[in-house]
Amino acid sequence: MSDLQELTNELMQDPEFVKEYEAIQPEVNITRAILDARINAGMTQMELSQKSGISQADISRLEKGTRNPSLNLLKRLAEAMDSTLSIEFIPNKRTVH
């Protein structure tokens, strides 16, 4: 097991950390989805920039998570990667009392 995984496992024992970790997951998921889609499309950031009309610097910011994308921007990225944008709401697991 890596040092990072061990640290993560340790931190996940703290309820406050878990709360904060879960709070940022939507942004992390979007960031990861953009990066994964670009790589799966076999494109560099520059190629995606040229095809989408979004600057390479902005694509880099999106992939680093330092810029939040609008829905229109996500649509442009999907089109440039010949992909379909899908957004879903997944119900939380609820405990029955």
CATH at 66? 1.10.260.40
Residue 97 in domain:
no
Residue 93 in domain:
no
Residue 88 in domain:
no
Residue 87 in domain:
no
Q: Which amino acid is at 29?
A: N
Q: How many domains does the chain have?
A: 1
Residue 17 in domain:
yes
Q: Are 19 and 48 in contact (CB under 8 A)?
A: no
pTM: 0.81
Residue 89 in domain:
no
pLDDT along the chain (97 residues), means of 10: 88 92 92 97 98 97 95 97 94 73
Domain span including residue 22:
3-80
